Every structure is written in structure tokens, then in C-alpha cells.
Amino acid sequence: MKNILSLLFISISLIANEKLTHDLPMTLDLDDQAYRQVVVDREQDQYLGHPTTCLLEDGKTILCVYPKGHGRGEIVYKKSIDSGLTWSDRLPTPINWKTSKEVPTLHRVIGPDGKKRIIMWSGLYPSRLAVSEDDGGNWSPLKEAGDWGGIVVMGFVESVGLKKGHYLAMFHDDGRFYAKNGKKTGIFTLFKTFSEDGGLTWKNPEEVFKSGEVHLCEPGFIRSPDGKRIAVLLRENSRMKNSHIIFSEDEGKTWSSPRELPISLTGDRHIGKYAPDGRLFISFRCRSPKKLAGTRTYEGDWVGWIGTWDDLVQGKHGQYSIRLKDNKKSYDCAYPGLELLPNGTFVVTTYGHWSAGQAPYILSVRLRLDELDRMAKK
């Protein structure tokens, strides 16, 4: 009887896996298209990782920050003034940026009075914030944002509501960093926090979802085309399920129960923007749940997904996928920055082991969806 039950379980699992993976969209491979690629920074034998970017309103100036290390490490700061085609030398930063404990993240914010700023988060406990009031020309030191912390603070910072200066941000924690002297609990909690002064101060975080079985983290924000709904895509870190998605219809005050995304959108650190034609481009690291780890060709690589808002809502696979770059070492790549230029070009920036046996470095890839459409038709 035990053998019969085991065979039945295996059969059910195989059927379920086939259902999750059937009809996967076409995957285009951009790995060897060197003309698309720009090296942002590289240092021999030095790990450079986890960049985020910020495109200024002139449509060509891009700021980029990243740590000298795997999350923890001195923050490096560079700038491009030609839409990411070339990059400056490393720029001066406040002394205490060398003390960053976690992945830095850049965000454009606008205050209730219309004042534009750029803020930069650095996570773990306590989460800290730096501010620039002159489009990245000068920066404040990192300062504590509150008596709390978390991992990958912030996954996103986005404007919500009808009032100027109101922002929503999300992050996660596993018990170690939310409070001083925290300990790992085996429970992942997704938090939200709001700002009403253009990102200078933030309210005490509130729980959105917590679970010891489904480990949801690294939230990525996408707003519906009509502006009425918000979706957040989430990494699933137990590696037992696909990535998940949640929705809000009240500007982040309440959220739907999480549900799985299709395997074509399963991975880590999703970030997405709309192309001029209304389609979505989402960049992330390809990582499948353990039971499906052999089902995708580009497991562990830097990938992208092209589809629509309706695909997200309906749980569809999307139009097609792309491999942006082959990562040569395990899953260590792809915390991406993503910017859309005025001409419809996406500039996608991340780190990875792009050369076998060498330290990871920062690379940008440029693409347009009309170019990819032509490739897909060949």
C-alpha cells in the first residue's frame, strides 16, 4: 500500500508540474548581443552587486548606486549623462555610506510643496535614509529612519493617493532585523509604510502578510493602466512555490490574499515598467521552485518578461520571455535597475557573474520591444 501511495503522489506531482509549465512562451536570447551591453563598473577581484538606478526628468541623466559586496558594503555612486551609454568615474559620497549593511535603493520623490528630491535607503536594523535636494549633486549622510529595519529596504517607493507627497513603500523581514537584537523566526513578514511629506519621514510599518510556509519578499510595484489598481509581485523564498502576486484597490490600504504567478514570471526581485505601446516589461532573476528547477533553460540567469496587465490579473504566461545575460555562477545575479528613455528604449542595469571565474560586475542592457517583436517573428 505504501508503494502504491508513493507512486500515486509522484504521478499527481508530475501532472501538476506539467500543468504549471505547459505552453510556456517563446524565449529570446540576447546574451551574445554585445552591442546592447554597457559595462557600468568593474573592479578586479572585487564583488560589485545589487544596483538600483534613477532616471532624471531630462530623460538622459541616470544615477546608479550599488554596494562593494553582496548587499553589505561601501556604497558606490556613479552617473550617466547620455542615457546610460557611458558612465562617470566613481563619485564622492558621504563618509558613512561606507557603513551600509544592505542593498541601497534610489527613489525619486516629490514633496507636498512640489520640491523634488532623491532618497536612498539602506536596510537591516536600523533602516537608514540619505537625501539629495539637487538631483544627486550633493547627498546627506545616512540617518536612521525609525526604530525598525528590514531586508531590501525598500523594494519600491511609489506615489499613492490624490495628495501630493504621499508615498507607499514595502519591504520584508524574517525576524532578524525588524527590531534591535532580533532573531530568525522562520516566518517571513511583508511590511508596508507610508510617507506624507515626500519621503522625508515614514510611519511605523504595518504587516501586509506573514507566513512560515510561504516566504514572500522583495516586493515589486506595478500600477494598472487605468490607475485604479496596484499589483505587487513577490519572490517566494522557501522555494516550494512559484512567485506570488497581491492586489490593492484602495491605494495600498488593504491587499488581496497572495496567489501564485505562472512559472514564466517566477523568480526574484521583479521590477517592471510600461512600454510606450502599453505592454509591460518586467526584469528579474530566473529561479524556479525546487520541484520545477529543471524546466526552464535559463535557470539562474538574468531574464525579462513581456506581457500585459491583464496577463498579471488572469495569471497568464505573457507574450514572450527573454534572457538578458547568462550568469556563470549559481543564482547570484539580477537585482535590476530599470529605466524607460523618451525614445522607448529600456535601460536595464544589474550585477552578475558575467565572466566565468571572475568577480561579479555591473552591466546595462538596452532594448526596445519593437526590436524584440521582430526577433520573435523570425
Q: Which domains are present in the chain?
A: 28-377 (2.120.10.10)
Could you tell me which of 18, 106, 130 has the C-alpha nearest to residue 337?
106
Give pLDDT, residue 243.
Answer: 98
What confidence score (pLDDT) does residue 294 get? Answer: 81
CA distances from 236 to 239, 241, 256, 367 (A): 6, 7, 17, 28
What pLDDT is attached to residue 336? 82
Identify the bridge partners of residue 53 per DSSP, sorted by sequence position: 64
CA distances from 57 to 52, 116, 133, 366 (A): 17, 10, 14, 19
What pLDDT score does 22 carry?
Answer: 53
Written as one string, the DSSP assignment of 54-116 is EE-TTSS-EEEEEESSSSSSPEEEEEESSTTSS-PPPPP--GGGGG--S--EEEEEE-TT--E
Contact 280, 274 (CB under 8 A): yes
pLDDT at residue 12, as a whole number: 36
The residue ranges of the chain whose pLDDT is under 50 are 1-19
pTM summary value: 0.93
DSSP β-ladder status, 26-29 and 320-325: parallel
Non-local (6+) Cβ contacts of 360 within 8 A are 47, 48, 49, 329, 332, 333, 351, 352, 353, 354
